[in-house]
Structure 1
């Protein structure tokens, strides 16, 4: 139940040794990068920094912009450790563009299955904390809200069932904030569609049980809205990725548009995967394809 939704109440001083010092115990190289990358931030936090001149500020901004561009390319190439190391050279708790990018990289590194449960948890918690700091600095960057939603979902995967249920509305709140700033972002649209689909799949009895045992009211959701989000992705980028076409087909089926559902089911049957994630999804889809499982 609620597959889509699976506190770090520490001050900065208490979090620093735990999170910054133990990220990559499985990797000597990255452990060293973590310590070196944040030692300046720690020093500045304790003692303050020298006020920079206008020329120095301009030079630093230019350097930061260049580093961000290079880090984005590394991220797209899947070179997450290198991107993390590069972003640390311009680490600044006041720069939301740097903060959310570090959060994104930490999330991707945490997806490494060779890391221990505790290491992945520390990465996710710190990534979420940095994304929250980015939100405090800006309210106009949709990437910040998108990654807050993604990281909150990842963070509560380590929480109790009650915490998961309580945060369902917060995930949507972040996604809607991102959508308001960018209505064409594929990831945001897909996550919103998935949010509606999973909640709409709950029966009346299941919702009542949640309320009875956890004192949490499940938000309203419906298959029609799920369909609209998935369909918008299909209009923006037809057959862009197999998981969206599959969810679109299932949503069509749920709203009793069987002809359209069969049309998209047939498309899924001939699509190819591009990533390991899509390959896993395709394997699951193939198992359910014959009976059009929803």
Structure 2
């Protein structure tokens, strides 16, 4: 069953005298009890997509398309309705907990606010619920009165998970939840997140550039490049038989697959190349790739790939 459906999403914003096309014609569906990964290089528009779903974008942003949650287009709802959905129905773990947490409020107070706003709890009731959620993520409830600077990076991330999961939202957006963590702490956070999401029958959108994390956690993976989704399939299919030339070289950059570098640089989102956005870096580029922009095509194994190598008269999705 579909929980969230994104149709033709475009997110453009002005930076100086440039128009940055951060997300371009994004189509994506999140189903019940699914962990879907959004992977790609830094700057490809992954985090903007997460913030667009939460409608947490700056005033200079132009957004079009649809983000449908339970038959409601989030892009058309008034702010008071959106505030009711944020946190309660769709939660988010923001990137960089050191910056996301308020330095002048205790960890306990920041989590308690979630219960007091959405559940209208008293201070005492919220304090009890906060103790329970802290314990759930492996933080001693006695540390609720401490401040962010007293927590390690891993403990800050646990606190962010506690805030995002406090109300058991149907969908959790986790934006680079393991960024900056040492390998041991990263593994702990991955296991914790995966166990909590599965045990609570939630769905999660995992935004990451860490392919190892995506491999461990995700049911499906959407690969982004230069503001677009260029491949979409089950995690098993993408990792075993990547279709798009970009996905192939991205996966080959993993240490266990040869640590192959990707030639060239990611294009500017304000002036992307004509045709296929990956063609300047692609060893398979044809004349059509330089001129025409590819749609998504089905491969022989049923994955969706934005590449003319898979056109061959196949029907487009």
TM-score grouping bracket, smaller chain normalisation: under 0.3
- Going by fraction, where is strand more abundant, 1 or 2? 2
TM-score in terms of structure 2 length: 0.25
TM-score in terms of structure 1 length: 0.26
